[in-house]
Amino acid sequence: MSIADLDRIRAQAVEAIAASADLEALEQQRVSLLGKKGSVTALMKELGGMGPDERRAAGQALNVLKDAVAAALDARKAVLDAVALDERLARERVDVTLTVRPEQLGRIHPISQTIDEVVAIFGQMGFAVAEGPDIEDDFHNFTALNFPPGHPARLMHDTFFLPEKPDGSRLLLRTHTSPVQVRTMLKQKPPIRVIIPGRTYRCDSDMTHTPMFHQVEGLVIDHSTNMAHLKGCLIEFVKTYFEVDEVPVRFRPSFFPFTEPSAEVDIGCSRAGGELKIGAGADWLEILGCGMVHPNVLRNCGIDPSEYQGFAFGMGIERIAMLKYGIPDLRTFFESDLRWLRHYGFVPLDVPTLTGGLAR
Ligand code: PHE
């Protein structure tokens, strides 16, 4: 092979490389030149049959050829990569100035919507939102809330327990949002005014119970907070949430270990003609439990009951969502049926506010 041969081969190779129209054609060029069976590779193999002097000269010339080919390949690849990127950017262009098409964003689940509404209403009254863990210990879920060990009220909670730990204690899935009352009082001094939305768990499953459900808890503690404040606050909530001017509300004596006195709250409704209407009517519907925080609970949380007092309430989110939005079956909330969600779901970005409207 003469130097002139090599120059010619190089010129042809560089020209062919520069003419490659796309990355695939370029790759073919690379294989046919530098690949295992490529033409430059074949020339390199000839070096083996040469004498030492001849091999040195030819070797140098061949290396120059190989470097030139490799450089040409790199240069062309950079050009073609840039072209490919430009094409892709043009193809995947997104017009961010287009108006939002909400249907592409899916729907807000009625549980989320209801929590947002409740938070908006109590937020307006000056309540802050507090949260706690789903996995609780016995102290926060029961003992601090004045359920003594062995108290029959514990059994009514159908608790899911985690496996026993070496010390014999068992964590559990919280059976209500009330443990977050305890957590709040332990870390925050009165005055306290919080609502606590969250998931709760009980080992129960039928038409009206699911093993996981949601509650929202309320807690107010101050020097002279009393039952009248509790009633006023809840009546105001019920009217705002159900978007009616007048709702008959009934406080029925009840029992919870952590409140004294305790009450359950019913709201008036009518079922005339098979249609449920919230407001004046012949029937009552239970919607929540409440009461004045038991002095033992305050004491367990390091708050002096001779100085402070307050009220608490707890309400089922699914229940008030079913009542407001006419959802007949509790279990459908958790079936993830898209047709159900499209029907009962809410438009995203329409965040509930008292001024802008709660639900759309
Ligand atoms: N935690 C109670 C329940 O789950 C509800 C409740 C909360 C009652 C706060 C009174 C005060 O049934």
Residues 6+ apart with CB under 8 A from 20: 26, 28, 29, 76, 80
Whether 109 shows a pLDDT value over 80: the answer reads yes
**Ligand 1 center to 281 CA (angstroms):** 26
Is 289 close to ligand 1, i.e. is its CB under 6 Å away? yes
Share of the chain above pLDDT 70, in %: 98
Ligand 1 atom closest to the CA of 311, numbered from 1 = 11
Residue-wise pLDDT tens digits, 146-163: 998 888 878 878 999 999
**Ligand 1 center to 313 CA (angstroms):** 6
3-state helix, strand, coil in the chain (%, to 5): 45, 20, 35
Residue-wise pLDDT tens digits, 271-312: 887 777 888 788 898 999 999 999 999 999 999 999 999 999
Q: What pLDDT score was predicted for residue 360?
A: 65
**For tokens 């008036």, what's the residue?**
268
Q: Residue of the nearest CA to atom 10 in ligand 1?
A: 290
Residue-wise pLDDT tens digits, 322-344: 989 988 889 999 999 999 999 99
- Please tell me which residue, 42 or 317, carries the higher pLDDT value: 317
247 close to 278: Cβ distance less than 8 angstroms:
yes
Residue 180, CB half-sphere, CA atoms under 13 Å: how many?
Answer: 29
- The vertex-264 CA angle with 227 and 218, nearest 5°, equals 60
Residues 6+ apart with CB under 8 A from 122: 195, 218, 237
Q: Residue of the nearest CA to atom 6 in ligand 1?
A: 314
Average pLDDT, the chain: 91
Q: What pLDDT score was predicted for residue 279?
A: 83
Q: In whole angstroms, what is the distance from residue 176 CA to residue 86 CA? A: 56
Task: Render 182-250 in DSSP notation, one character per residue.
Answer: HHHHHHSPSSEEEEEEEEEE-S--BTTB-SEEEEEEEEEEESS--HHHHHHHHHHHHHHHHT-S---EE
**Ligand 1 center to 175 CA (angstroms):** 10
**Ligand 1 center to 180 CA (angstroms):** 12
- Read off the pLDDT band of 102 (50, 70, 90): low
Whether 101 shows a pLDDT value over 80: the answer reads no
**For tokens 């996995």, what's the residue?**
135
Q: What pLDDT score was predicted for residue 45?
A: 87
Residue-wise pLDDT tens digits, 160-209: 999 999 999 999 999 999 999 999 999 999 999 999 999 999 999 888 89
Whether 138 shows a pLDDT value over 70: the answer reads yes
241 close to 121: Cβ distance less than 8 angstroms:
yes
Q: Which is nearest to 227 in space by CA: 119, 312, 128?
A: 312
Is 241 close to ligand 1, i.e. is its CB under 6 Å away? no
Q: What pLDDT score was predicted for residue 240?
A: 95
337 three-state secondary structure: coil
278 close to 266: Cβ distance less than 8 angstroms:
no
Per-residue b or e along 166-180, where b marks 16 or more CB atoms closer than 10 Å to that residue's CB: eeeeebbbbbbbbbb
**Ligand 1 center to 27 CA (angstroms):** 71
Residue 185, CB half-sphere, CA atoms under 13 Å: how many?
Answer: 29
- Read off the pLDDT band of 123 (50, 70, 90): very high
Q: Which is nearest to 145 in space by CA: 312, 316, 317, 315?
A: 312
Is 198 close to ligand 1, i.e. is its CB under 6 Å away? no
- Please tell me which residue, 105 or 243, carries the higher pLDDT value: 243
Ligand 1 atom closest to the CA of 178, numbered from 1 = 1
Residue-wise pLDDT tens digits, 3-50: 778 888 888 889 999 999 999 999 999 999 998 898 888 888 888 888
Q: In whole angstroms, what is the distance from residue 289 CA to residue 338 CA? A: 33
